[in-house]
Structure 1
Amino acid sequence: MSFQNSACNIYIDSDPGDTDRKTSLQATCNNDQGTGITSQIKLDEALGNQDGRFSWNGQNFSNTARNVRLGMEGKREPVLHAELQDDSGEYRESEARLGEHVGNIDGQLRWNS
């Protein structure tokens, strides 16, 4: 199930880090009892950059990204937007639909299997 249907306060947080940049998705997710719990998931654990395009089952997209931002489109669908560096060093706009890959399991953001 797409997490956004049982979550609010959805946003991304970027950590510049000492050597690697990291981006996390954060939200207040309802658990099975309906209580809101703050949860986060590290997007760089499953999202990479392949020649300037987001790539699921990749890693560390943040290291070659700029202007990373989250938009809510359509019926509250969270879409990650960024300019990603391609193999020639140029940046191009890319997007990843987070609701297709992230779920809410009892108040915790988790990768959909």
Structure 2
Amino acid sequence: MGFHKSSMDIKLERGHILTAYCRRPTGEAIYSELDLDQFLGAKKGQFAWGSHNFSAHATDVDLQLEGPTHEPVLHAHIDDGIGNIQDCEVNLAACIKNEDGNLRFMECF
């Protein structure tokens, strides 16, 4: 289950820090943050899970909660390394989970 289904007030700080109040099994919601630069990179103008420091190659970084289930989708313009700027997006729920009230990266590639 994606972290967004058990979290609230999901935001992006400083262009790469994901923050949210995540519910624990007890029902209590606690503040958590996760530095996406530790798990998300950029390769050939696209987001790349399992890589690092996407924010060094991205501009106009924005987090939007999209669709009827409010999927957390990260948008950015990323340089492909040869001078072209690509419009990119990645669904953060694909690789991030809420584990006992904490945002955690889970291997998904």
What TM-score do you get using the length of structure 2 for normalisation? 0.93
RMSD: 1.0
Distance 1:89 1:31 in 2: 45
Q: CA deviation at 1:86?
A: 0.7
Identify the residue that residue 90 of structure 2 maps to in structure 1. Answer: 96
Percent pairwise identity: 38
Which AA in structure 1 matches 2:27?
G
Q: CA deviation at 1:73?
A: 1.1
1:25 to 1, 11, 18: 18
Taking the aligned partners of 2:18 and 2:89, their CA distance within structure 1 comes to 14
How far apart, CA to CA, are the structure 2 residues paired with 1:8 and 1:26? 9
In 1: Cα distance, 2:55 partner to 2:41 partner: 8
Partner of 1:17: none
Instruction: Quote the Cα distance in structure 1 between the aligned partners of 2:13 and 2:84.
Output: 24
Q: Which residue of 2 aligns with 1:18?
A: none
After superposition, residues 77-92 of structure 1 pair within 5 angstroms as 77-92=71-86
Which amino acid is 1:86 matched to?
A: D
Q: C-alpha separation between the residues in 1 aligned to 2:16 and 2:83?
A: 21
Shift of 1:89: 2.2
The answer for unaligned runs of 5 or more in structure 1 is: 15-21
